């Protein structure tokens, strides 16, 4: 199952109310205000989503019982803490969850993968997830020429003008989500990934076709517009 949540910057409580001590240490070491704000906003989104998930098990965890630490490549990793450690099955479930976090203009998106069937699409059980959120804004043809593949450029060329910026944003967002899933980030050429979004469907998810040699298994995904933003979620799953 894929679940997701968007958090707004102006809803964040003080750091001491949501961070476990090791997270507070990480937060205090961040030098730049924007980096601290984005880091905290991402934790706020992730912890609320994870707490909501655990509440379905009948357990009301405080936010500081869920830590979001970072792997060596910066990918977020869920770690139980405090009260969660005193409930072994809850701690084990938290440690097995995968999440992906993204930020844009005072918003943070967190997507979470569990081993159940996806609630968004009737897909094979996913084994990895990447997510991204982007504000829809003019990027122009020069941006697409610099970062998009021939197939993506052809899709944009056939897109009605009133949907061009939306589809261009969806392509870029899907690339970011894919590169998070593969743990490459923007260290590689974005043209190593081709992302072809289906036309938008108002208020619903639309499919994404993902083609890349950066993953050894099949990737697919979905995207939608929401309040002037594009959300993309990309999945990896094992073929039978």
| Residues 103-149: tens digit of each pLDDT | 999 999 999 988 644 444 444 567 889 999 999 999 888 999 999 99
Domain count, the chain: 2
Domain boundary among 76, 103, 130: 103
Which residues have a Cβ under 8 Å from the Cβ of 189 and sit 6 or more positions away?
Answer: none
Angle ∠(106,95,184) on CA atoms, nearest 5: 55
111 domain-assigned: no
Domain of residue 196: give its range.
117-237
pTM of the predicted structure, to 2 decimals = 0.92
DSSP assignment of 164-223 equals: HHHHHHHHHHHHHHHHHHTT-GGGS-GGGEEEEEPPP-TTS-EEEEEEESS-SSEEEEEE
Residues 25 and 97 in one domain: yes
For residue 9, pLDDT beyond 70 = yes
Q: In CATH, what number is assigned to the domain containing residue 150?
A: 3.90.470.20
User: Is 142 among the domain residues?
Assistant: yes
Residues 14 and 79 in one domain: yes
Domain shared by 37 and 69, yes or no: yes
Mean pLDDT of 42-60: 96
- Confidence tier at 153 by pLDDT (50, 70, 90): very high
């Amino acid at each position: 199952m894929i679940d997701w949540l968007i958090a707004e910057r102006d809803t964040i409580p003080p750091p001491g109310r949501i961070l476990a001590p090791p997270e507070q240490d990480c937060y205090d070491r961040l030098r730049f205000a924007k980096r601290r704000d984005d880091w905290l906003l991402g934790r706020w989104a992730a912890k609320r989503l994870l707490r909501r998930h655990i509440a379905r098990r009948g357990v009301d965890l405080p936010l500081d019982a869920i830590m979001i630490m970072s792997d060596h490549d910066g990918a977020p990793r869920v770690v139980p803490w405090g009260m969660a450690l005193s409930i072994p099955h809850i701690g084990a479930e938290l440690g097995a969850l995968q999440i992906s976090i993204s930020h844009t203009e005072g918003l943070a998106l967190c997507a979470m993968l569990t081993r159940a069937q996806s609630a968004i699409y009737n897909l094979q059980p996913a084994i990895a997830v990447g997510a991204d959120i982007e504000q829809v804004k003019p990027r122009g043809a020069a941006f697409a020429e610099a970062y998009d593949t021939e197939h993506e450029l052809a899709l944009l060329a056939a897109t009605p003008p009133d949907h061009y910026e939306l589809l261009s944003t969806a392509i870029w967002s899907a690339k970011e989500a894919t590169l998070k899933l593969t743990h490459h980030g923007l260290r590689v050429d974005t043209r190593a990934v081709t992302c072809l979004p289906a036309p938008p469907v108002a208020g619903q998810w639309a499919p994404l076709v993902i083609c890349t040699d950066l993953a050894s298994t099949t990737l697919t995904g979905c995207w939608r517009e929401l309040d002037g933003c594009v959300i993309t979620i990309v999945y990896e799953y094992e073929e039978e």
